Amino acid sequence: MSRRITIERVLPASLADVWALWTTPAGVESWWGPEGFAVTVQALDLRPGGILRYTMTAVGAQQIAFMKHNGMPLATQTSITYVEVVPERRLAYVNHVDFVPGLAAYEVGTLLELDVDGATVRLRLTLDPMHDQEWTNRAVMGWESELGKLQKLIVARSA
């Protein structure tokens, strides 16, 4: 099984703005999910033991085709449970993976770390591997896409 994966970005934003994009329903809905997917938040309770529950829906033609081809629903409800919340610094949570066809539900850990670096924020996302290398690769590609969306949103807001 693969080791934990770390993805980093430097964002031209304030720490407060980046934190809000990760920790409020409107913030999450504005960028969460890879390209071609939309997210609707049903619940967000930002505290250790609290949850984020959301529905991710394939909306792009390519993503809809992929989901159908792989026997997956176009919309999935997902929940994460927060393990650690250090405002504007760290956010650790477990994702309840119950959407893989033919596989029992399991949990995957994620850690977000934020640091101020001058007028920018250094974001470091550390991911546990999924149940196999293919799904781990999919998760990394998904996060690369999501963080790209986050970066575009921040740049557009500052323009």
The pTM of the full predicted model, rounded to 2 decimals, is 0.88
What pLDDT score was predicted for residue 2? 59
Q: Which domain holds residue 130?
A: 5-158
CATH number at 86 reads 3.30.530.20
Q: Give the tens place of pLDDT for each residue, 22-55.
A: 999 999 999 998 889 999 999 999 999 999 999 9
What is the token pair recorded at 18?
């980046």
Overall number of domains in the chain: 1
Bridge-partner residues for 84, per DSSP?
92
Q: What is the pLDDT of residues 100-124, one digit of tens each?
A: 777 788 899 999 999 998 899 999 9
CB within 8 Å of 127: residues ≥ 6 apart? 4, 5, 6, 7, 108, 109, 110, 139, 140, 143
Residue 149 predicted with pLDDT over 80:
yes
User: What is the percent of the chain where pLDDT is above 90?
Assistant: 66
